[in-house]
Amino acid sequence: MKAFNKISPLVAVVVAACFVSGCKVLDPSRMMRTEMGYEFDTAEENYNEYVINVYDKLDIRVYPNNGVQLVDGGSTVANNNNNNITGYLVESDSTVKLPILGRVNLVGMTVPDAEAMLEARYQQYYQEPFVKLTITNRRVVLFKAGSTSGTILSINNEKFTLIEALAQAGGLSDASKAYRIKILRGDIKNPKVYLYDISSLEEIRNSNLVLQSNDIIFVETRPKYIKRVLAEITPYISLVNTVLLVYMMTKDL
């Protein structure tokens, strides 16, 4: 017993160290921490529709005669009936280089607005142009169980919402905090960070925003501190047991 009394404080020190050091020891894989009192951004960018952003890749097709070729099965003008379309990239200066028109700024426009603007610009070159614009590389990154479950989701409609993203990824886990969902948007070096709560019908009315390309969604989870404390101290308990066993076997020799 005396040996146990001498060694047992080691276990207590390990447990205390776990709690003193906080989440970084007990939850080392946790991402996107925000300190107490962190001021989240307000939802002034809660767009009702998707808006074109830098690095979006666009499939732009221009048809003459108000798109009659779409019905008759004719070829496109801007893409010259090329089935191997690479798309037009919206570059970092917010412009996209298009045939005939040259560089055009489309960032911040919805798809219908961009189509209407391009139709007006192409009108001097084609009779009653009809523009069909599709964004081909839109996606969001979703971590729905803290940092343990990451998914890349394609945005396949103009009003792809937070609820749709969660549903497409299989919903939330039992440990997920529905009232603590962070969304990072914009430049990753200095992003806007929004906090959303979908835990009740009342809150969900204010939280079902339209997602933008490259949004990062992070659903916080309840920490499993007891399980992780046990995982931390188990090797030390085993060491103590081994030392006690060796001591008991050798003390009478």
Which CATH number is 148's domain given?
A: 3.10.560.10
pLDDT at residue number 28: 54
Supply the pLDDT for residue 216. 92
Q: What is the pLDDT of residue 124?
A: 92
pLDDT of residue 96: 95
Q: Could you tell me which residues come within 8 angstroms of residue 223 by beta carbon, excluding any fewer than 6 positions away?
A: 23, 26, 27, 30
Mean pLDDT of the chain: 77
Residues 61, 129 within the same domain? yes
| Domain span including residue 152 | 31-48+138-222
Q: Which of 175, 185, 140, 151 is nearest to 32 (CA)?
A: 185
Handedness of CA 203, 206, 211, 215 (dihedral sign): negative
Give burial (CB, 10 Å; 0-12/13-18/19+) of 77: buried
Report pLDDT digits (tens) over 57-109. 999 999 998 877 776 655 444 444 444 445 899 999 999 999 999 999 999 99
Let me know if residue 22 belongs to a domain.
no
Q: Is residue 244 part of a domain?
A: no
**Which residue reads 């709560």 in tokens?**
197
Rg of the Cα trace of the chain? 28
The answer to whether position 229 is within a domain reads no
**pLDDT level of residue 129 (50, 70, 90 thresholds):** very high
Kindly state the DSSP code that residue 177 receives in the 8-state scheme.
E
Percent of the chain past pLDDT 70, that is, above it, reads 70
Count up the domains in the chain and report the number. Answer: 2
User: For residue 242, is it within any domain?
Assistant: no
Contact present, 192 and 185 (Cβ < 8 Å): yes
Query: Both 154 and 44 in a single domain?
Result: yes
Residue with the larger pLDDT of the pair 28 and 127: 127
Does residue 201 lie within any of the structural domains?
Answer: yes
Same domain, 78 and 186: no
Residue 2 is assigned to a structural domain of this protein? no
Position 122 scores a pLDDT of: 94
> pLDDT per residue over 141-157, tens digit each?
999 876 777 889 988 88
Residue type, 202: E
Q: What are phi and psi of 125, to 5 degrees?
A: -115, -30
**Is the predicted pLDDT of residue 30 greater than 70, yes or no?**
no
- Please report whether residue 209 resides in a domain: yes
Give the residue from 135, 164, 182 where a domain finishes. Answer: 135
- Quick one: 214 and 145 in the same domain? yes
* Structure confidence at residue 187 (pLDDT): 78
Is 60 exceeded by the pLDDT of residue 201?
A: yes
Same domain, 91 and 205: no
Q: Is residue 3 part of a domain?
A: no
Same domain, 81 and 202: no
Name the residue with higher pLDDT: 50 or 232.
50
Among residues 135, 162, 184, the one where a domain terminates is 135
